[in-house]
Amino acid sequence: MKNLMFMMAVLICSAATAQQPAISLPITKTEIQEVVNSLTNKIPGSEVSRMERGVLQTAGLWQEENGTKQDFITFCTKNYISDPEEREIVFQKISGYMESLGGHFNKISLDLMTNLHLDNGPLHSIDALFGAYSPGAHLSDDFYANKIAFLITLNFPSYSLDEKNTRSKTWSRREWAYARLGDRFTTRVPAELIQASAAAETRSDIYISEYNIIMGNLRDNTNQ
């Protein structure tokens, strides 16, 4: 029964990726099963479900540019963290790195949009160009390329909203934190689309910036 449920999950994963015909996904249920079989013999039974989830999610995001089928198998078997203490150490390290990246990218974005957000005089076209630039647009692409994203999906898999609602009754703060880390890499959005989204948002900001209504000057015919 358990094997049947796992194979159904594999088929669901394959069906989901099949909806993206423009992207070639080299990992099949054969490679997934090979990794699962290899890791199952090395970890406690209580860890198998989480491991299977991590392998499935990693397979669903792996593309040809990330390596061959054998590269996928090698990566998963080498980088899966079965020791809870080691997993916690890695989680704390990743959290620190992500916090630093997120904070600094946010600071850069705020600096680049200063003249759009503050009344520093007339806007120039250069303000719009810098304001439209997203310094973190390539972060996701880079993390898939250097496989940081895959290490996270493998060891800290994500859960659907329904699953979170169900599991929240027994989850600890640590388990919630692990799941939230997994939420960072559930799709692969190209950097150019992230950049285009930032540019569209900036155009909206510029419209608002140039649509100034000075409330102190709003008076009726009786100067009220």
Q: Are residue 51 and residue 110 in the same domain, yes or no?
A: no
Contacts within 8 Å (CB) and 24+ apart, 217-223: none
Closest CA to 131 of 154, 115, 145: 115
* Helix-strand-coil split of the chain, %, nearest 5: 70, 0, 30
Domain boundary among the residues 51, 80, 109 is at 80
pTM exceeding 0.85 = no
* pLDDT in the model for residue 76: 96
The whole-number average pLDDT for the span 200-211 is: 72
Q: Are residue 35 and residue 58 in the same domain, yes or no?
A: yes
Segment 131-179, tens digit of pLDDT: 888 888 888 899 999 999 999 999 999 999 999 999 988 999 999 999 9
Q: Are residue 169 and residue 71 in the same domain, yes or no?
A: no
Window from 11-15, 58-62, 114-118 with minimum mean pLDDT: 11-15
Q: Are residue 131 and residue 30 in the same domain, yes or no?
A: no
Segment 176-204, tens digit of pLDDT: 999 999 999 988 887 788 888 878 877 77
Of residues 41 and 12, which shows the higher confidence score?
41
Domain boundary among the residues 80, 98, 123 is at 80
Q: Are residue 109 and residue 73 in the same domain, yes or no?
A: no
The whole-number average pLDDT for the span 22-34 is: 79
Cβ partners under 8 Å of residue 130, min gap 6:
112, 113
Domain membership of residue 54 as a residue range: 1-80
Of residues 15 and 69, which shows the higher confidence score?
69
Cβ partners under 8 Å of residue 56, min gap 6:
9, 10, 13, 32, 157
Domain boundary among the residues 80, 103, 132 is at 80
In a domain, 218, yes or no: no
Segment 33-87, tens digit of pLDDT: 999 999 998 888 878 999 999 999 999 999 999 999 999 999 999 999 999 999 9
* pLDDT in the model for residue 188: 85
Segment 94-112, tens digit of pLDDT: 999 999 999 999 999 999 9
218 pLDDT higher than 70: yes
* pLDDT in the model for residue 57: 94
The whole-number average pLDDT for the span 203-221 is: 72
| Number of structural domains in the chain | 2
Cβ partners under 8 Å of residue 53, min gap 6:
157
8 pLDDT higher than 50: no
* pLDDT in the model for residue 54: 95
Q: Which residue has the tokens 């397979």?
A: 59
